[in-house]
Structure 1
Amino acid sequence: MTVSTNLQKSTALSEAEAALKLLASSMGAAVNVATASLLNTPMYRQTSVINDQMVAIANDAEHGKLDLERTIKISEAIFHLNAEAIKHKSMNPLIPDTLIAILNSAVNYAEKAQSLIRAALQPE
């Protein structure tokens, strides 16, 4: 029983780490798109700041450090950025559809990461 519990815990940690890596990858892609089309705009700066924070969270996860509070905080920032991008897209057609699609994916990854981290941090 202890072995399977440890295995479940290990699997949960691996899944949480993988989800955070996907989220960091999505934000990196968002920065690339924003750099190409929105350089030196508030949306670019916000995307870049979130990406930097997400990279730090993913790096910590790679070293076995999961932080639910930081993940929730960055997820909320991603949710807000996505909503702002959608709102601005309706007023500014130059905001790329690709950016909206990437941010939508990031929102999904953020939700998944939160639930996986909660599961990984459950006491045995």
Structure 2
Amino acid sequence: MTMEVTGSWIVRQSVGSTPCLLGKSVDCSYVRGAGYLEVDVDIGSSAVANGVLGLVFGVVTTLVVDMAFLIQANTYEELPEQVIGAARLAHVEPAAAIVPQDLTPPPPALADDDNAAASSSEDDHLSKKTN
């Protein structure tokens, strides 16, 4: 992961801009599925990361952080490494965060002749959702 930080001098000095191996700095768990890789990062698993987070959290609304992610190559055959994703976090407002109510994916689309038969069961499913 590489980061570029725009913010106060103290934050820039604390966070830096040198790439880090995230999996060696904090605990991570990985879920690999068809067409995706999920990485859950436990920032609280590192005293250093927790300290930086505490410093940054107070000024997070003034920061712009650019991050790029790649999977580290461990063998010659895995080269060249390529960026698999990037994100810019700009002026994040923690107070505006919401907890998602339902992360269940929608059911797969049905063929037209199946729609009539599934309509009543779909209505039952929708009526049982809680928010």
TM-score class normalised by the smaller sequence: under 0.3
Provide TM-score, normalisation by structure 1.
0.28
User: Which fold has the larger relative contact order, with Cα–Cα distance below 8 Å and residues 6 or more apart in sequence?
Assistant: 1
Provide TM-score, normalisation by structure 2.
0.27
Asked which structure has the greater CA Rg, the reply is 2
Higher helix share: 1
